Amino acid sequence: MRIDSKEGKLAMKLLKFSTVCVLAAGLLSSVTGCSRDKIEAINLANEGDQAVKINVEGAIQKYEQAIDLDPSNHRILWKLANAYEKKEDWDKMASTLARAVLVAPDFANYWGKKGHALIMQAEGGNMDAYKAAQEPLKKCIEKDPNLADCYHELAESYLWTDDEQAALENYTKAIEHDPSKGFYYPPLADLYLNLKLTKEAEGVLTEGTKLVPPNEKNNAKLYNMYVLLAKVAQIKGDKAGQLAAVEKAEQFAGDNHPEFSFNLGSTYAAMDPPQKEKALRLLNTFTKRVCKGAQAMKFKEECEETSSMIQKLGS
């Protein structure tokens, strides 16, 4: 009886040991498999990184495969969102970043880029997306108050949802946080002009033309600022100031602004007395380059006004 009892206890110990071993082996296999998926996801993401500059679709496939293996890797979601941005696929960019902020809610740039994707959807015709962009852009600012682009795009969303005061405040904050970015100034000045706050618009534009350095990136925005300064001078009845601003804009016009010949030509034509020779030269250039070309419909009103001015100046 004693022998049977000892044998029974030994059998129970062996059974428990074998059960623990089986469970441990299963757990080890699970952990190893999980770790293997994470490593493979990183490898696929690295392949996507190599492809993204020349083959965006191929990179997207790699990133998506990686996310299937490791849905918790928010850095791969970020890479996937950037690839969708290159494609200008704003819907998928927004939905990808919606997943990223769930995994990593403290990353301000994830919130900001989600807001940007929604703003781009709105510009594409989905006007409701302006309102939808406000929550992620506010989150962006909450997580990092120094990201100026989030203030700027939040202002855009407010402007298009008829909250002009909030738009003014956030356009201003964008400039305060990064006064070197040229594209922040014209929308704020233009909004001030629409609200008939000419002095405030002039202040913004004067500051912008002083602080924004001329370069290939900023020249188009400096052009816009000087054109708006010419509009300010026109409202004030300052013809000399208007001419000075338009002539300054000429330095930044480039080939991207064929309407410049009209702006400067019409300014010369409106002077007292008009500078006929300069006005006719510029207005005739505008007629040849624009009114007799592919952009005639785009500048229909300007072309009609140009024709009238040429006739008047030639009489």
Radius of gyration, CA atoms only, the chain: 31
Q: Of 147, 176, 205, which residue is a domain's last? A: 176
Residue 216 neighbours by CB under 8 Å, 6+ apart:
none
Structural domain total, the chain: 3
**Does one domain contain both 163 and 214?**
no
**Residues 135 and 195 both lie in one domain:** no
Which amino acid is present at 213?
P
Give 272's contacts (C-beta < 8 A, 6+ positions apart): 239
pLDDT at residue 278, rounded to an integer? 78
Q: What is the structure's pLDDT at 14?
A: 42
Which residue range(s) make up the domain with 162? 73-176
Same-domain check for residues 91 and 139: yes
199 & 106 share domain: no
CATH of the domain at 98: 1.25.40.10
CATH of the domain at 253: 1.25.40
- The tens place of each residue's pLDDT in the chain, 315 residues long, gives 444 455 555 445 444 444 444 444 444 444 455 688 889 989 999 998 999 889 999 999 999 999 999 999 999 999 999 999 999 999 999 999 999 999 999 999 999 999 999 999 999 999 999 999 999 999 999 999 999 999 999 999 999 999 999 999 999 999 999 999 999 999 999 999 999 999 999 999 999 999 999 998 899 899 999 999 999 999 999 988 988 998 888 888 766 677 777 877 787 888 778 888 878 887 888 888 788 887 788 888 889 888 888 888 875
At 112-145, the pLDDT tens digits run: 999 999 999 999 999 999 999 999 999 999 999 9
Amino acid at 129: A
Q: Is residue 7 part of a domain?
A: no
Q: What is the pLDDT of residue 138?
A: 98
Q: What is the pLDDT of residue 314?
A: 78
* Together in a domain, 214 and 246: yes
How far apart (Å, rounded) are the C-alpha atoms in residues 31 and 43? 18
Q: Are residues 187 and 249 in the same domain?
A: yes
Is 300 contained in some domain?
A: yes
What pLDDT is recorded for position 33? 52
Among the three residues 161, 176, 191, which one is the final residue of a domain in this structure?
Answer: 176
Residue 40 within any structural domain of the chain: no
The domain boundary, picked from 257, 282, 297, lies at 257
Same domain, 136 and 94: yes
**179: preceding bond cis by omega (within 30 degrees):** no
Q: Let me know if residue 47 belongs to a domain.
A: no
Quickly count: other Cβ atoms within 10 Å of residue 266's Cβ: 18
Rounded Cα distance, 277 and 282, in Å: 9
* Whether 91 and 168 share a structural domain: yes
Q: What count of Cα atoms within 13 Å lies in the side-chain half-sphere of residue 192? A: 22
Measured from the Cβ of residue 83, the count of other Cβ atoms closer than 10 Å reads 26
Q: Are residues 97 and 166 in the same domain?
A: yes
251 plus 208 within the same structural domain: yes
How far apart (Å, rounded) are the C-alpha atoms in residues 283 and 262?
A: 6
